[in-house]
Amino acid sequence: MKCYFVDAFAEKVFEGNPAAVCVLENWPSDNLMQLIAKENNLSETAFAVRDGDKYHLRWFTPGGEIDLCGHATLATAFVLANFYTESENQFVFKTLSGDLTVVKKGDLYEMDFPSRMPVKIDITDEMIGALGVTPVEAYLGRDLMFILEKESEVLYANPNFPALKELNEGLGVILTAKSKQFDFVSRAFFPKLNVNEDPVCGSAHCQLIPYWSEQFNKKEMVARQLSERGGTLYCQLDDERVSISGYATLYSIAELQLNRIL
């Protein structure tokens, strides 16, 4: 089984968010896909199988399958465009979050994702203790989202990961603030999925984009994720959908030694 390792939301290797991608003719067992994801030990490993003119796409973290992942979707489109079907510039993926479309525009990959405006909630002492910083506001969608006063607070945040894991609300935790160089910045943490920090999280921007679009009263924005690796996302709100674009680059191609298992 071939496995492609791609840095998504990156213009060169060692930036952005690394994802593993396996393009298959048939589905292996869920257990095997989970074991591969644990062995890769990346935030997501994507598995794709062609289904007519679409691709069925699933994402696995080291801690389990997830319903939406941006960077591994971008990475899958990159692999398909460069190694499987160079004549195609548009890819439609059947996923747990419905059909997702990725369009290759030059070297950029533009993803069409659902918009998920989060709901404002109260800030608790447990949240403040886990974050190590007091947010201005808190919101809940799929993930907990905290608005911080300063960009530097996002950059230097040092959350307590075991405490984040114990928070009842949300799958992940997003920190975000306005930016001077970009429109907004963020960081994303998923200790409940055994991923302390996701270097660049596309799915988190399904919440971030509608929120910041409302704050800025504009549809197009440029965002930066302030992880150690860092990554830039080109964002647009379009009613009930968001457009998230980024670059990708290949790091490695591996041959998984699974013949005896398969």
Catalytic center residues: 44
Please, are residues 115 and 68 in contact by the beta-carbon 8 Å criterion?
no
Question: d(Cα 116, Cα 192) in Å, to the nearest integer?
Answer: 20
**What is the residue-wise DSSP string for 93-104?**
EEETTEEEEEEE
The sign of the CA dihedral 122, 128, 131, 134 is positive
Tell how far CA 112 is from the center of its chain. 13
Q: At 106, is the secondary structure helix, strand, or coil?
A: coil
Q: Which residues contact 191 (CB under 8 A, 6 or more apart)?
A: 161, 162, 164, 165
Question: d(Cα 70, Cα 242) in Å, to the nearest integer?
Answer: 11
Q: At 108, is the secondary structure helix, strand, or coil?
A: strand
Q: Which residues contact 205 (CB under 8 A, 6 or more apart)?
A: 70, 113, 186, 223, 233, 235, 242, 244
Question: d(Cα 92, Cα 113) in Å, to the nearest integer?
Answer: 11
- Cα–Cα nearest to 6, from 160, 100, 109, 97: 109
